[in-house]
Chains A and B, each alone.
Chain A
């Protein structure tokens, strides 16, 4: 493996890993705060147990998010020093604000976890809610850094120099709003479905049924925001890509020829040599409509651009298809849930219904990773779109492949350990978190009684 490829692979792996925990950190606290609010309103101790169980999950995943985020902030420099040398002062603004948000998040979490019965109950509740708010803020801010790479602004690029730097303009770049909106909704989608599915599993197995059913309902409610919001916000994102990065749109759609009334390509195998897609289902005119709100608008094809500026077409195209497919599936599941909620309450506990959610556990995360692949791979060969090539940004240090193997090993083992740990948390539900269970013991180690 050459150094350049290794560096890209390592970056992708680290980000792909971090994003999972980042999304949990953005959404889980809201689930927790919602359940906490229910407890404060209803005084039902099951909600209290649920809040505590979820807060432990938040703590574990928060720490992993923090650890992987710390790695990222170093890796940006370790792998892409040339990029950071020029980009740091321009797009660094969101990172410094993000720092503030993280700090608040960490402090609020400290208050929340160790503050049961110590503070005014609404102050305590607010701390939990604040964890979510600041997590959300940091996610939205850090996306600004990424959207800047897609849509660089806030500086003039003259003779290879970066002049008239304005970090505030860079922060408010064109891609930020659509990307941040879509990303936030996607986080709700992914985390909501994952959590709902896990609890559906325990309802199905008839373990601590009341406890898990309550959890399932809350999580599924949040998943709905994502299930319907993702396609809507995705459409907005697509329209913005069409304007900013026509070549990325063309790669997403494996769209080689410039044409009016362009067809939307479903599936298919892009052949970059022959410059065509085979075995695809083409829906006439829909691409033009999706991209420009006009069935006859012209959509530029890949052939209009020099070939050395093409992103990897196949990867971008497949990733886009995967995201759309799972997005549609989750929207359908969401629709079924809504129908059941309003018209067929008894469906909610039916085996097939719960199974549906269990199967959907990974769907949101698959769509999420696929979406990031579209964004990042679709930007290639640029690290700063139209300004700096990724190949020029990489560190001169040789032997990055070993670093890649090493980090891969770390991530794989971290992932295994976390799964193991979360499983053990759930195993302890009867004893620690569900007050209606005969095994329940109120006292717990670590002071979080």
Chain B
């Protein structure tokens, strides 16, 4: 059962990155678009996001609940040391959620919309950035579990160049996903062309920030390179992600826009696989050389049992419904 639970944890993080991430990405793409095209892009982005908006963000909650029910020690250690980035990420989620709602459900249209829009853009950057920072801090061997001076324990455990570059990388990934996902909602060639240009530009950012991640990992002596490339799975995953990129551009040329979505999702999954498979269950590395393992720190067997069943039964209920929702609104848009 424990592996079912871990599987769900991994899956929900992955799905949050894809769906939640593309959602944040939509804001970033709008931000990158010049005034002339913005209204069009906004329309397209809205079409691709609105009906599933609430559902996208549930994945994060699922992940958190799995953490505190199944792996309470890991959860409480992270919540103590990473209090500040968690709060900042939350601020992003709050501002983002509210601004989105107001932007789209506000019955009156006037200059208030401008303010919502500003908040919306700002928070679209904030959350993925800190998400990245948090992820980075778990593998950077800087988290301190014992007592320590305030700055060391609560600030420098996550604030470093490696964290920053992973944050930037996450932002780029989100923007990339959004630009790819939205392609299918475009209404004419002109819009498609704008978005394809965006997607290419964002691709460049992904590569640059990805390179920065490795550079900083090297400078801060974080064994990221070995983490990713020491086994066959990592190399294959990265290779597949790269091949998928080629296929994506081919499909765009041929106007096959549905597979493109799946391919982009696939790429993200592969990147996540590459980043997590060697450690598999040792998800948090501490400054004292120890690590927190999901297997060693799991909750009582009975709890895991029940949690596993709840997740399995829950997904039997939910997934068909969710797919039907996605499907109904995909069909509509053509």
Contacts and interface: CB of A to CB of B under 8 A. Distances in A.
Interface in A198-234: none
Contact of A103 (B55, B76, B108): B55
Interface in B72-113: 72-73, 75-80, 83, 86-87, 90-91, 93-94, 97-98, 100-102, 104-109
A60 interface: yes
A70 B314 contact: no
Contacts of A118: 328, 332
A73 B65 contact: yes
B65 A78 contact: no
Contacts of A113: 51
A103 B58 contact: yes
B325 to A, nearest CB: 5
B37 interface: no
A95 B107 CA distance: 34
- Chain B, interface SS category: helix
B307 interface: yes
A85 interface: yes
Contact of A71 (B90, B303, B317, B328): B90
B76 A77 contact: yes
Contacts of A408: none
- Chain A, interface SS category: helix
Interface string B31-50: 00000000000000011001
Contact of A96 (B65, B87, B147): B65
A99 B62 contact: yes
A82 interface: yes
A109 B50 CA distance: 11
Contact of B318 (A59, A85, A103): A103
A360 to B, nearest CB: 26
Nearest to A115: B328
Interface string B105-146: 111110000000000000000000000000000000000000
A92 B307 contact: yes
A117 B70 CA distance: 43
B239 interface: no
B26 to A, nearest CB: 15
A89 B69 contact: yes
Interface stretch (A163-171, A332-340, A380-388): A163-171
Nearest to A83: B76
Interface residues of B, number: 66
B68 A84 contact: yes
A60 B46 CA distance: 16
B310 A100 contact: yes
A81 B82 CA distance: 12
B219 interface: no
In the A-B complex, the 4 residue pairs with the closest CB atoms = A92-B69, A89-B299, A77-B79, A81-B76
20 contacts: A62-B54, A63-B97, A68-B94, A71-B93, A74-B86, A81-B76, A82-B76, A92-B68, A92-B303, A95-B68, A97-B314, A100-B317, A103-B314, A107-B322, A111-B328, A167-B307, A403-B83, A424-B107, A425-B107, A447-B47
Interface of A: 56, 59-60, 62-64, 66-71, 73-74, 76-78, 81-82, 84-86, 88-90, 92-93, 95-97, 99-100, 102-104, 106-107, 109-111, 113-115, 118-119, 165-168, 395-399, 403, 406, 410, 414, 417, 421, 424-425, 427-428, 432, 445-447
